[in-house]
Structure 1
Amino acid sequence: MSFEAAVTFFVSIFIFAITPGPGVFAILAKAMVEGPKKCIMMALGMVASDLLYLQLACFGLATIADNWSDIFLIIRYLGAGYLIYLGYKMITAFTHNQPISNQQKSQQTPLTSFSHGFLISASNPKVILFYVSFLPTFIDLTRLHGSDLILISVLSSIALMTAIMLVAYGASRLANVIKTPIAQQRLNKTAGSIMIAAGAYLAVNK
């Protein structure tokens, strides 16, 4: 892969990562309530899931989406249900108009956050279709070398992580403008509603 192709590939993956979808909405909602630092492990989980789909696409296993369609359907519904559950928890996180404490916010372990991010991204098997149609523009998949696979994996990881964390940082900066408990409660409800909408979109969108 030439330098120009590598740069184009990086920019394309970055744009793909910030395109609105269930993963972006999940990070957006979490960052609005808990801040960007709490999104790092979730973002890593999402990147790991995307890289898995990337590997599948590189090794010509795209037909898995057809052969294992029932499994993908179950995964998609599990992810959608989880997003809706997270949205509900956000909406009901306030009691007596008091915001949730920092201690309550940090009850999730890093491994749990990572797993949640992986599940959310894995729930969207359409990602593999993107890579299948996108990768041949830059690489001949019939002559794939180990160095090519390492390069596109590194570029994808950096582009995805940068894009996701920029979304998280921007959402957190916007949320920090709102300071009053009532405003924070409304923010939590808005974030929860976004998460529920993302889950519903994932469930009904084929």
Structure 2
Amino acid sequence: MHGLTLSGLAIFAAALAVAAFAPGPGIAAIVARVLGRGRSGAVAFTTGLAMGDIVWLSATVLGLAVLAQTFQGVFTVIKYAGAAYLLYLAVKMWTAPAAAIEARQAVKKEKTSTLFLAGLAVTLGNPKVMVFYLALLPNLVDLGRVDALAFAELALVTLSVLALVFGFYIALALRARRLISSPKAIRIVNRSSGAIMASAAVAIATR
């Protein structure tokens, strides 16, 4: 077994970090949800997002990208399912009462499994993620000779980079949320979060 070179992993990590930091539907959904609901459910949702990347990474390494394109209809269904759930969250955020943050902690939590699947659907329904891996990996790795160790290294780097990026945006949103106290400000945040989430849903559905 042989892994990848450090330089290859570093290039992969840097390219992934740049791509992940760029605001997109997934990041918008994370920020909107944390602003509206706090950190509750954020880990489950972002884990789903990250595992979607692992699915696309695996498809690229295993040469299944063409197969994924062949079954485009399946991924289209997944894409719309993810967009529909984000739209559902957007409506809930928009209509949430302007209660104090302490009171909002008591709001019924969504199921962890539902949030995970929603995050997974968002990433799987985004073809740009697949295109990213298809464009980058062949320049760094001989995909015909990737062994288990090399794949594990790629997966570990992917999860580590995404954890850092998602963690940064969650912390940023939480910091902004702590500054909110008045009912008027809370109402503005609720509706702004709902609008951002709805925008993310539309962006995913129209790609």
Q: Please report the TM-score for the alignment, with normalisation by the length of structure 2.
A: 0.91
Q: 1:80 aligns with which of 74, 83, 94?
A: 83
SS state at 2:174 partner:
helix
- How far the C-alpha of 1:165 sits from its partner, in A, is 1.4
The one-letter amino acid of 1:130's match is F
Pick one of 133, 136, 150 that aligns with 1:134: 136
- Residue 174 of structure 1, CA deviation: 1.5
Q: What is the rounded CA distance, in whole Å, between the counterparts of 2:158 and 2:32 in structure 1?
A: 23
How do 1:155-170 and structure 2 match up within 5 A?
Answer: 155-170=157-172
CA offsets per residue over residues 63-113 of structure 1, 9 Å max, x none? 12421122222221221222111111110111xx43562121x52233232
Equivalent in the alignment of 2:41: 38
Instruction: Select the residue among 117, 120, 123 that pairs with 2:119.
Output: 117
Shift of 1:152: 0.3
Q: In structure 1, which of residues 189, 192, 196 is the aligned counterpart of residue 194 of structure 2?
A: 192
Provide the C-alpha distance between the structure 1 equivalents of 2:18 and 2:44, rounded to a whole number of angstroms: 21
Q: Distance in 1 between matches of 2:157 and 2:40?
A: 22
1:111 aligned partner, one-letter code: S
The SS at the match of 1:185 is helix
Deviates more, 1:28-37 or 1:52-61: 28-37
* Percent identity of paired positions between Structure 1 and Structure 2: 28
- CA distance in 2 between counterparts of 1:31 and 1:107 reads 13
Q: Identify unmatched segments of 5+ residues in structure 1.
A: none
Equivalent residues, number: 202
What is the aligned counterpart of 1:93 among 96, 108, 116? 96
Task: Please give the alpha-carbon distance, in whole angstroms, between the structure 1 residues aligned to 2:52 and 2:94.
Answer: 27
CA contact (8 A) 1:49 1:122 kept: yes
Shift of 1:37: 5.3
Q: 1:36 touches 1:165 (CA, 8 Å); kept in 2? A: no
> Secondary structure at 1:103's aligned position in 2?
coil
- Give the match for residue 17 of structure 1: 20
In structure 2, the CA distance between the partners of 1:171 and 1:199, relative to structure 1 (3 Å rule), is: same
**Structure 2 unmatched runs, 5+:** none
Q: Distance in 2 between matches of 1:118 and 1:111?
A: 10
1:57 has 2:53 as partner: no
* Cα distance in 1 for residues equivalent to 2:31 and 2:194: 10
Q: Please name the residue that 1:183 is paired with.
A: 185
Letter of the structure 2 residue corresponding to residue 43 of structure 1:
T
Name the structure 2 match of 1:5.
Answer: 8
8 Å CA contact 1:10, 1:156 repeated in 2:
yes
Residue 152 of structure 2 corresponds to which residue in structure 1? 150
Q: Take 1:50 and 1:194, find their aligned partners in 2: how far apart are those partners?
A: 22
Q: Which amino acid aligns with 1:121?
A: T
Deviation at 1:194, TM superposition (A): 0.3
